[in-house]
């Protein structure tokens, strides 16, 4: 049996972190994580990054799409609003001269240079329009423009509207015009720099003679005086005026120096889905202006009243070869003048397109819900010999965008009261 030496065995204590020596604690901190722990952490982090990126991409895509749709809606509403204003006021200033003036070829000069009839083609997108323009509240030019994005023809509008804001009546001359003076009973309502429209028609059966745009001398103030002096940037003068007869009438159509110029415009869709307006009288330094973005195509119809009951009897397509074709309305005859007076409204169809392509599904098909086609004017009463409906079929590539359809009827206020 072993002898006990009398020494007690030292008890073993459970040393906590607080009791670790600095060296032991440093070694514990230096141990780090294992490779497996590191890989697990990386996988979890990557998964979180993918989820966050996916959510952000979806949110950003949805935001961009919604922004594009909202912008398209606003642009379409603005385009429709402006067209409504212009068409409703078309014919102001010269509507009362309709029987003798509608359909007359317009003549105008600016700084001694002829601007009407045009000596060169109109700028894009109106290069295909006739260089001889005839007076009328609204004339639809079928297929007048071919916007590059659509690749299809789109109708253009010729809108003419005075801006004098007076009684919309014309003055009868007492003698034939001279090169720089018009004689009339009085000159009330006329002011310096006003643009005036002179209309002469030799006989009611003849083709309507030229309509001349001229300008009242700067500083003139109308009143009881019977002589209206003409001079200025738009003064034509010469034989153009002296060849007119005492049957000439004159209408005030606006002023070029007080932001109240007449609106003689070509309206149509051009490249990059932009609706353009061109100032035919060039009353500003930049006659070609963009009206609204996102306009893909524009189509239009005439609403005609054939029995003078102030109601539309039927609608007519300008693309027809019948009575209300573009050529029939612009041949300058008294018949054409009568037809232009029968037009009481314009029916417009606009196609708006969003600027961004949409995501394709797993079958490489668009997910926008864009229809295969859009049809306009299906609800109108069309002339029995005409076809009014317009259908635009979208290609697979075109269906990667969102579209909006606007269809409105706009009365020609000044034609309605004739």
Q: What is the pLDDT of residues 102-155, one digit of tens each?
A: 999 999 999 999 999 999 999 999 999 999 999 999 999 999 999 999 999 999
Q: Which of 162-171, 295-304, 367-376 has the highest mean pLDDT?
A: 295-304
pLDDT of residue 71: 84
Task: Please list the alpha-helical segments (H only) found in 90-187.
Answer: 98-101
CA angle 153, 154, 159 (to 5 degrees): 140
Per-residue pLDDT for 172 more than 80? yes
Structure tokens at 160: 């003419």
Confidence of residue 68 (pLDDT cuts 50, 70, 90): low
Instruction: Write the DSSP symbol of residue 10.
Output: P
Q: How far apart, in whole angstroms, are the C-alpha atoms of residue 320 and residue 166?
A: 37
Q: Hunting for tokens 């009611």 — which residue is that?
A: 204
pLDDT of residue 62: 61
> What proportion of the chain, given as a percentage, has pLDDT over 90?
61
Which residue, among 254, 226, 381, has the nearest Cα to 306 in the 3D structure?
381
Determine the average pLDDT of the residues in 27-38: 70
Which residue, among 44, 70, 28, has the nearest Cα to 356 in the 3D structure?
70
Per-residue pLDDT for 257 more than 60? yes
30-39, 57-66, 372-381: range with lowest mean pLDDT: 57-66
Determine the average pLDDT of the residues in 383-390: 88
> What proportion of the chain, given as a percentage, has pLDDT over 70?
85
Helices (H) and strands (E) in the chain, counts: 7, 19
Q: What share of the chain is helix, strand, coil (3-state, %, to 5)?
A: 25, 30, 45
pLDDT of residue 255: 93
Upper half-sphere CA count for residue 267 (Cβ side, 13 Å): 26
Q: How far apart, in whole angstroms, are the C-alpha atoms of residue 185 and residue 122?
A: 39
- Say which residue, 188 or 38, is predicted with more confidence: 188
206-215, 332-341, 390-399: range with lowest mean pLDDT: 206-215
Could you tell me if 337 and 98 are in contact, meaning their C-beta atoms sit under 8 angstroms apart?
A: yes
Structure tokens at 186: 């009085």
Beta strands in 331-372 (DSSP E): 343-353
List all residues 6 or more positions away from 86 whose beta carbon is below 8 Å from its beta carbon: 159, 161, 263, 265, 267
CA angle 368, 370, 371 (to 5 degrees): 150
Structure tokens at 59: 């949110």
pTM score, whole prediction: 0.84
Q: How far apart, in whole angstroms, are the C-alpha atoms of residue 205 and residue 197?
A: 21
* 275-307 tens-digit pLDDT: 999 999 999 989 999 999 999 999 999 999 999
Evaluate the omega torsion of the peptide bond into residue 5 and state whether it is cis, within 30 degrees of 0.
no
Tally of CB atoms within 10 A around 298:
24
Confidence of residue 16 (pLDDT cuts 50, 70, 90): low
Largest CA distance in the chain: 159
Residue 31 CB-density burial (10 A; 0-12 exposed, 13-18 middle, 19+ buried): exposed
- Say which residue, 298 or 97, is predicted with more confidence: 298
Per-residue pLDDT for 254 more than 80? yes
List all residues 6 or more positions away from 359 whose beta carbon is below 8 Å from its beta carbon: 61, 367
Upper half-sphere CA count for residue 124 (Cβ side, 13 Å): 7
- Say which residue, 417 or 251, is predicted with more confidence: 251
Sign, Cα dihedral of 374, 345, 278, 74: negative
Determine the average pLDDT of the residues in 1-14: 53
pLDDT of residue 45: 84
Which residue, among 399, 121, 125, 162, has the nearest Cα to 264 in the 3D structure?
162
pLDDT of residue 417: 85
* Average pLDDT score over the chain: 87
395 to each of 68, 246, 398, how far by Cα in Å?
21, 60, 5
Which residue, among 373, 268, 384, 264, has the nearest Cα to 317 in the 3D structure?
384
Determine the average pLDDT of the residues in 60-70: 65
Per-residue pLDDT for 182 more than 70? yes
Which residue, among 265, 246, 375, 382, has the nearest Cα to 314 in the 3D structure?
382
* 306-364 tens-digit pLDDT: 998 888 999 999 986 778 999 999 988 888 989 999 999 999 999 999 888 877 776 76
């Amino acid at each position: 049996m072993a002898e006990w030496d009398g020494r007690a065995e030292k008890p073993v204590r459970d040393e906590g972190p607080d009791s670790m020596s600095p060296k032991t604690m440093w070694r514990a901190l230096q141990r780090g994580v294992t490779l497996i722990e590191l890989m697990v952490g990386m996988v979890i982090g990557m998964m979180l990054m993918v989820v966050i990126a996916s959510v952000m991409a979806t949110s950003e895509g949805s935001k961009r799409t919604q922004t594009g749709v909202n912008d398209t809606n606003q642009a379409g509403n603005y385009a429709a609003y402006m067209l409504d204003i212009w068409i409703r006021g078309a014919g102001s200033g010269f509507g009362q001269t309709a029987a003798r003036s509608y359909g007359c070829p317009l003549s105008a000069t600016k700084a001694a240079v002829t601007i009407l009839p045009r000596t060169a083609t109109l700028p894009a997108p109106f290069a295909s329009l006739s260089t001889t323009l005839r007076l009328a509240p609204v004339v639809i030019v079928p297929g007048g423009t071919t916007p590059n994005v659509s690749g299809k023809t789109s109708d253009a509008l010729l809108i003419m509207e005075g801006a004098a804001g007076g009684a919309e009546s014309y003055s009868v001359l007492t003698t034939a015009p001279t090169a720089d003076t018009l004689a009339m009973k009085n000159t009330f309502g006329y002011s310096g720099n006003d643009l005036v429209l002179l209309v002469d028609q030799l006989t009611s059966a003849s083709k309507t003679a030229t309509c001349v745009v001229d300008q009242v001398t700067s500083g003139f103030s109308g009143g009881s005086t019977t002589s209206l002096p003409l001079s200025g940037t738009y003064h034509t003068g010469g034989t153009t005026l002296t060849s007119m007869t005492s049957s000439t009438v004159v209408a005030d159509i606006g002023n070029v120096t007080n932001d109240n110029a007449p609106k003689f415009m070509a309206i149509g869709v051009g490249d990059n889905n932009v609706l353009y307006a061109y100032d035919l009288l060039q009353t500003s330094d930049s006659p070609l202006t963009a009206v609204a973005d996102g306009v893909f195509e524009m189509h239009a119809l005439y609403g005609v009243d054939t029995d003078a009951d102030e109601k539309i009897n039927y609608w007519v397509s300008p693309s027809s070869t019948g009575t209300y074709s573009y050529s029939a309305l612009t041949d300058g005859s008294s018949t054409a003048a009568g037809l232009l007076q029968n037009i009481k409204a314009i029916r417009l169809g606009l196609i708006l397109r969003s600027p961004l392509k949409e995501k394709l599904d797993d079958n490489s098909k668009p997910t926008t819900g864009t229809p295969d086609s859009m049809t306009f004017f299906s609800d109108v009463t069309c002339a029995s010999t005409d076809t009014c409906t317009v259908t635009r079929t979208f290609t697979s590539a075109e269906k990667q965008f969102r579209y909006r359809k606007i269809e409105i009827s706009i009365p020609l206020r000044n034609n309605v009261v004739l």
